[in-house]
Amino acid sequence: MPRVSQDQLAARRHEILAGARACFARHGYEGATVRRLEEETGLSRGAIFHHFRDKDSLFLAVAADDAAEMAATVARNGLVQVMRDLLANPDVAGWLGTQLEVGRRLRTDPEFAEQWSERSGAIAAATRERLERQRDAGVLRDDVPVATLQRFLELAYDGLVKHLAMGRPTDDLGPVLDLVEAAVRKP
């Protein structure tokens, strides 16, 4: 057997995740069958499931990749910037919608919920740290606990995800995000 370098393994893994993301976005969680995952990645099921145990693991790995990128943007520019980026890129609707489709699993399958919450934990931590830095810099309002401001921003983010996933128009949401941002800052 040829030796496969770590770089090659990482590249293959990345390739599978990109194809899986497109497949979940297009067909939804239930609709992303093994056959469709093969088509979208251009790889056999053997190759795919050599890297990921099952469809759940694949889905959670795509979500974890997404979360890492999102946490990095939050740390750098804040959760409102993540929202502005989503607004500028409405073809993410398919993938956001697929995330909503697993809500029932999250309420009824504790193991799945546990793995999912590791994903959202990284984003929550980045949001919290960024808000604390902003408060130290005197930018944030100081009459409301940081934890409440964090939940408020997360609520707005969740609302935007639902809005986009339901295919609603986005052209008038820019000023709404301005209002969200202003609500956590010093007047």
User: Please, are residues 44 and 38 in contact by the beta-carbon 8 Å criterion?
Assistant: yes
Rounded Cα gap, residues 22 and 124, in angstroms: 25
Residues making up the chain, counted from first to last: 187
Neighbours of 65 (CB within 10 A): 17
Taking every pair of Cα atoms in the chain, the longest distance, rounded to a whole number of angstroms, is 66
Torsion angles phi and psi, residue 185, rounded to 5: -95, 165
Residue 157 makes contact with a second copy by CB under 8 A: yes
Residue 171 makes contact with a second copy by CB under 8 A: no
Residue 100 makes contact with a second copy by CB under 8 A: yes
Instruction: Please report how close the Cβ of residue 92 comes to a second copy at its closest, in angstroms.
Output: 12
∠ CA 98-41-86, nearest 5°, is 40
Instruction: Please report how close the Cβ of residue 82 comes to a second copy at its closest, in angstroms.
Output: 14
- For residue 3, give the 3-state DSSP assignment: coil
Q: Which of 104, 111, 136, 138 binds a second copy (CB under 8 A)?
A: 104
Residue 166 makes contact with a second copy by CB under 8 A: yes
* C-beta closer to a second copy: residue 5 or 108: 108
Rounded Cα gap, residues 28 and 23, in angstroms: 8
Residue 67 makes contact with a second copy by CB under 8 A: no
Residue 135 makes contact with a second copy by CB under 8 A: no
- Give residues with Cβ within 8 angstroms of 70, minimum separation 6: 82, 123
Residue span binding a second copy (CB under 8 A) among the ranges 13-21, 41-49, 50-58, 151-159: 151-159
Q: Which of 14, 53, 151, 185 binds a second copy (CB under 8 A)?
A: 151
Contact residues: a second copy, CB under 8 A: 28, 30, 93-94, 97, 100-101, 103-104, 106-107, 113, 144-145, 147-149, 151-152, 154-163, 165-167, 172-173, 175-176, 179-180, 182-183, 187
